[in-house]
Chains A and B, each alone.
Chain A
Amino acid sequence: MGEHDDTVNYPSLRTRAIESLLVEKGILASDAVDRVVSTYEEDIGPLNGARVVARAWSDGEYKTRLLENATGAIAELGISGMQGENMVALENTSEVHNVVVCTLCSCYPWPVLGLPPYWYKSPEYRARVVVEPRAVLEELGLELDDSQELRVWDSSADIRYMVLPERPAGTDDLSEEELTELVTRDSMIGVARAGTS
């Protein structure tokens, strides 16, 4: 889809109508709107989660803390915030593969992954991944081994989940920083493996 320049379509007009009325009534702070938007466009995104994963791959004790108390372990790296107050990390292994969804809306761990991509919020993903997860993962390019147990996690309350993907083979010599580059957003949702684009 990319970026649209669409100042005269209905949602744009409606949004500008609401914004201008709220400003005139002294209710809306324009600077707050600007700052919130730039925070999620520029500061908070999946690089945060990638740092958490790379640390867990590099430091076994950190990984243990992450799996026992994800919120605290993530905060050790200076990462916290709204929609990440109560985190649980799910470890993907050769035996178990976890995938995350919010069937009811779009709950997602903002501090580690940023705002969710469109497909994660789509009715197609939300409806289908709980009932035919292997088919959905195959469509998205992830073929699981038949022997892997698949688990689907529906973020229906106030826990926010991130997946700790399996460390790719042949990466023993990589530094933590180099490992960070292998960790994709999709691997932390559970619809891809790390080290693949």
Chain B
Amino acid sequence: MARAHDIGGLKGLGRVEMEQDEPVFHSEWERRVFGITMATLGKGLFNIEQFRSGVEEIPIVPYLESSYYERWIATLERNLIRAGVVSEDEIDARTTELSHRPETEVGRREEPEFCEMLLGAIHGGMSPERELDAPKGFEIGDRVVASGTEVLTHTRLPRYVRGKTGVVVRLDKAFVFPESNAAGDGENPEWCYCVRFEAEDVWGPNAENAAPVYVDVWESYLVAA
């Protein structure tokens, strides 16, 4: 069991198609979706984990059939509705109105101070690193097993390493724990680690064309092997 986004190792997908001289955005609405998302994230209406979780709630068939920024529209709507700032009925009604009068201009309002704050964050960063007093549970070289527990809400442990054994190769900082923050239960930071999994341990004996995979993992996803 996993949500639609957790597709590492999924078989049956076709070639990777590259677009030559690809533009940053493919249409005006993609520009606006990206900008609206960044601006409403910046207002604190939802957090990045809730945004990702909203993408993951898309059922797998529409997930695979929709474009990248169509998935952003879906999670943007979900998160704005959950934040209580707009209702689905309002969005539906406005969409219908606009389809009848597509020439209608979208209104404008400006907030220069917020704009400067947001641009400052874009250029300066907003690290999810947090102070943590607890000692690190693992050291470089430790053999660890990734949790095999099913998680049906937001998680950052890819399904393809669940229950698999690997070796800690890098100690990272303590970062906000996504499962907790997505659920609105606070940041609850944990130490993070980079774990190397050998191809045959992940994919089994048919892994001759595979390679070791390095996965970044929060501490509570790991137990000592």
- Contacts from A to B (Cβ < 8 Å): 1-37, 39-41, 44-45, 80-82, 84-86, 88, 101, 103-106, 111, 114-115, 117-119, 121-136, 139-140, 149-159
Contacts and interface: CB of A to CB of B under 8 A. Distances in A.
A82 B109 contact: no
A18 B26 contact: no
Given A32-B42, A159-B192, 10 more contacts: A25-B86, A29-B111, A37-B35, A103-B8, A105-B5, A124-B17, A127-B13, A149-B211, A154-B213, A158-B129
Contacts of A7: 28, 102
Q: Give chain B's interface residue range (CB within 8 Å of chain A).
A: 35 or more
A114 B24 contact: yes
A119 B19 contact: yes
Contact of B110 (A5, A30, A104): A30
A157 B109 CA distance: 36
Nearest to A17: B94
Interface string B23-64: 111111101111110111011010000001001000000001
A128 B215 CA distance: 15
Interface string B152-187: 000011101000000000101101100000000000
Contacts of A151: 211-212, 214
B135 interface: no
B210 interface: yes
B126 A28 contact: no
Contacts of B11: 127, 131
B203 interface: yes
Contact of B119 (A20, A39, A41, A149): A39
Nearest to A80: B125
Nearest to B157: A156
Contact of B6 (A35, A103, A155): A103
A121 B209 CA distance: 23
12 contacts: A13-B99, A22-B36, A32-B115, A37-B31, A86-B127, A103-B8, A117-B22, A123-B64, A133-B210, A134-B211, A155-B216, A159-B172
Given A21-B86, A27-B40, A157 B98 contact: no
A3 B26 contact: yes
A111 B28 CA distance: 23
Interface string B114-154: 11001101111111110000000000000000000000000
B34 A20 contact: no
B7 A123 contact: yes
A128 B35 CA distance: 30
Contacts of A40: 24, 34
B112 A31 contact: yes
B173 A128 contact: no
A105 B7 contact: no
